[in-house]
């Protein structure tokens, strides 16, 4: 899963699902096309109208984060999440939706037909989340606005202007947190809260800020602890003193109010039910989340049954591997053996980090065999920060970063590391997302937006691709991949089970325990994540199936002309798109006789 960037918060309800990377780029209108006979094809009226809609709306969306031009010290701003701002978003996206409905899609250029499918999906997700007032529940068991903020301030500053920008942002935290509290109170009033069972310990990061006080130990002092030497020493000292003052005056009191609210008001009032079906308009709400995260209109029952069928296939392969290592016992007993035998677990955080680095570099040696076009950007490997590690996934990746969770080492098995690294680093998130961002042929709203079904589906496909790349050196590594595949396939069963079928927390945990080799700690944190984030867990396996189906289709149609590098280049060059667009792109690859978008690099 990719790391959620702070900027995602500006997108209101979909902030936890569609996080765009920070950028000031503006979507450029599509250039006129040229036919084979050299005739220039001018954009149609439909093209011009559509480009005007998405350019204006994207500029407006970006303006939610624009600094105050009258203040030279202003830096990245915290979004306005108040009631008037939420109403403005609802009105704007409603207007955009109406304007899109008037576009003659048949008259659009081929490129803009794809742009339209992607953009309309974005607007639908943004609009529906506003209609259901998702902003009244601005966190879940995995991600929160306060943790996102704490993660953001860990980034180093490059100059004095950036440092002063951080000071400006920190002074605004009281306003931002108070608006979030008002929204959450409205959620309480209508029974739209996180489930109480998922809240235990989730306020630890808030408490740490309060306890650290106005000191150099406070996470919000991090940008000022090691200011670049290009800033004069006297100015550095002045900035550091000012930072401590702002932390004491603004940051700590805001966190203290939030902590009191979470403990004394929110948690006692939080709902005791688990299912999305129990929320206001619950059935329609959950169906909207399926559409948002899967980008397909599927019923919970359809997805549940698909999950059961896929789990049966994966268990059969797992049984084969278990026999290969000559384990005598049931599959359940083999899972327990893997969870408890010390040989499978690191003894130090460095062991885990070094192994992740070795796996990542091993892929580098194979990349050119499977990909023609590679991203320019690279990524770092770092441990998950201590304040969020207890509730965090085993790893998370994205542009420039692969985070490895070194908390509770007996729950971080070596046998899962290959699959985890392929998913989170390269060729997964830290590979796919930069490729999209670097593709200047795409409008900005496509380069800078993440759709979970595509991004997570691709990353999960990369785990399976590890077999083709001979990345799984031992049967245990292969079993780790199969366990991860089962983990994601089981989400189809568990997520729908919880939110549509009334499953208990224990039922969900037992299903994962019986069907995967995940540690007990991961099982507990994962189930809480599914409970508090309806539908998101469905995106992974549904997305992977789209990539696998597309590849099978291309292989069958092209036969000996099928080129794995051309296939990967083709499905990656389109950026993060609804799943139906992947199939359309492969149809074009087949029509092009298997020649990909970068033939000179294949």
295-315 pLDDT, tens per residue? 999 999 999 999 999 999 999
> Is the same domain home to 334 and 443?
yes
Residue at which a domain ends, from 100, 135, 170: 135
Tell me, yes or no, whether 263 lies in a domain: no
Last residue of a domain, one of 499, 515, 542: 542
Using pLDDT thresholds of 50, 70 and 90, give the confidence band for residue 41. Answer: low
Same domain as 586, residue 457: no
Mean pLDDT of 46-67: 88
* Largest Cα span, the chain: 72
Instruction: For residue 155, name the pLDDT band (cuts at 50, 70, 90).
Output: confident
Three-state secondary structure call for residue 167: helix
Report pLDDT digits (tens) over 77-93: 799 999 999 999 999 99
Q: Which residues contact 54 (CB under 8 A, 6 or more apart)?
A: 27, 115, 119, 443, 445
The span from the CA of 419 to the CA of 487, in Å, is 12
Other Cβ atoms less than 10 A from the Cβ of 49: the count is: 17
Q: For residue 378, count CB atoms less than 10 angstroms from its CB and return exposed for 0-12, middle for 13-18, buried for 19 or more.
A: exposed
Residues 40 and 65 in one domain: yes
Please give the structure tokens belonging to residue 234.
């006297």
Q: Quick: pLDDT tens for 219-272.
A: 999 999 999 999 999 999 999 999 999 999 999 999 999 999 999 999 999 999
Structural domain for 370, as ranges: 285-542
In-domain check, residue 315: yes
Whole-number pLDDT of residue 6:
33
Domain boundary among 135, 157, 183: 135
Report which secondary-structure segment, H or E, holds 241. helix 233-246
Q: Are residues 451 and 548 in the same domain?
A: no
Is 201 part of any domain?
no
| Domain presence at residue 192 | no
User: Is 25 within a domain?
Assistant: no
Angle between helices 173-189 and 252-260 (to 10 degrees): 10
Check whether residue 403 and residue 504 sit in a common domain.
Answer: yes
Please give the tally of structural domains in the chain. 3
- Domain assignment present for residue 235? The answer is no
- For residue 591, the model assigns a pLDDT of 97
Do residues 335 and 476 both lie within one domain?
A: yes
- Residues 533 and 553 both lie in one domain: no
Q: State the Cα–Cα distance between residues 568 and 309, nearest whole angstrom.
A: 27
Stretch 535-557: mean pLDDT: 97
For residues 585 and 453, state if they share a domain: no
356/400 same-domain check: yes
Residue 153 covered by a domain: no
Are residues 387 and 461 located together in one domain of the fold? yes
Characterise 157 by phi-psi region: left (phi > 0), alpha (psi -120 to 50), beta (else).
beta
With respect to residue 80, please indicate whether it lies within any of the assigned structural domains: yes
Percent of the chain with pLDDT over 70: 91
536 and 581 share one domain? no
Does residue 568 sit in the same domain as residue 452? no
């Amino acid at each position: 899963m990719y790391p959620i960037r702070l900027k995602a918060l500006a997108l209101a309800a979909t902030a936890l699902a569609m996080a765009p990377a920070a950028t000031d780029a503006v979507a450029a209108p599509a250039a006129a096309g040229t036919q084979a006979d050299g005739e220039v094809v001018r954009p149609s009226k439909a093209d011009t109208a559509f480009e005007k809609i998405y350019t204006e709306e994207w500029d407006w969306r970006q303006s939610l984060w624009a600094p105050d031009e009258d203040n030279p010290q202003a830096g990245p701003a915290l979004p306005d999440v108040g009631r008037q701002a939420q109403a403005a978003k609802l009105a704007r996206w409603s207007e955009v939706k109406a304007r899109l409905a008037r576009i003659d899609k048949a008259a659009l250029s081929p490129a803009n037909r794809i742009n339209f499918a992607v953009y309309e999906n974005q607007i639908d997700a943004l609009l529906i989340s506003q209609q259901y007032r998702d902003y009244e529940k601005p966190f879940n068991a995995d991600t929160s606005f306060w943790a996102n903020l704490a993660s953001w301030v860990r980034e180093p500053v490059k100059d004095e202007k950036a440092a002063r920008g951080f000071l400006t942002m920190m002074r605004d935290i009281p306003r931002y947190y108070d608006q979030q509290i008002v929204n959450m109170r409205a959620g309480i009033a209508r029974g739209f809260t996180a489930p109480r069972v998922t809240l235990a310990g989730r306020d630890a990061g808030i408490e740490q800020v309060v306890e650290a006080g106005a000191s150099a130990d406070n996470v919000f002092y991090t940008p000022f602890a090691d200011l670049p030497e290009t800033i004069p020493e006297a100015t550095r000292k002045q900035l550091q003193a000012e930072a401590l003052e702002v932390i004491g005056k603004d940051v700590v009191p805001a966190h203290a109010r939030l902590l009191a609210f979470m403990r004394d008001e929110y948690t006692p009032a939080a709902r005791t039910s688990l299912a999305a079906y129990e929320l206001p308009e619950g059935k329609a709400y959950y169906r909207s989340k399926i559409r948002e995260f899967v980008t397909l209109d599927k019923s919970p029952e359809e997805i549940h049954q698909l999950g059961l069928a896929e789990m049966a296939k994966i268990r059969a392969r797992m049984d084969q591997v278990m026999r290969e290592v000559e384990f005598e016992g049931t599959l359940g007993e083999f899972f327990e053996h893997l969870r408890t035998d010390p040989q499978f677990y690191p003894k130090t955080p460095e062991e885990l980090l070094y192994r992740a680095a070795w796996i990542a570099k091993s892929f580098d040696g194979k990349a050119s065999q499977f990909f023609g076009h590679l991203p320019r950007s690279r990524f770092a490997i770092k441990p998950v920060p201590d304040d969020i590690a207890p509730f965090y996934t085993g790893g998370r990746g994205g542009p420039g970063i692969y985070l490895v969770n070194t908390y509770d080492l007996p729950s971080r098995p070596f046998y899962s590391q290959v699959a985890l690294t392929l998913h989170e680093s390269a060729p997964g998130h830290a590979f796919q997302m930069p490729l999209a961002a670097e593709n200047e042929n795409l409008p900005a709203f496509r380069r800078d937006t993440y759709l979970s079904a595509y991004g997570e589906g691709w990353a999960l496909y990369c785990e399976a691709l590890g077999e083709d790349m001979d990345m799984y050196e031992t049967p245990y590594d292969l079993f780790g991949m199969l366990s991860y595949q089962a983990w994601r396939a089981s989400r189809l069963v568990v997520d729908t089970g919880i939110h549509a079928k009334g499953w208990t927390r224990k039922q969900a945990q037992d299903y994962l325990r019986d069907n995967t080799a995940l540690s007990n700690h991961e099982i507990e944190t994962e189930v809480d994540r599914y409970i508090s984030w309806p539908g998101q867990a469905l995106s992974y396996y549904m997305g992977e199936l789209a990539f696998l189906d597309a590849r099978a289709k291309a292989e069958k149609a092209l036969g000996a002309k099928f080129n794995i590098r051309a296939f990967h280049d083709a499905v990656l060059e389109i950026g993060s798109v609804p799943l139906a667009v992947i199939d359309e792109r492969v149809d074009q690859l087949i029509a092009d006789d298997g020649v990909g978008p970068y033939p000179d690099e294949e």
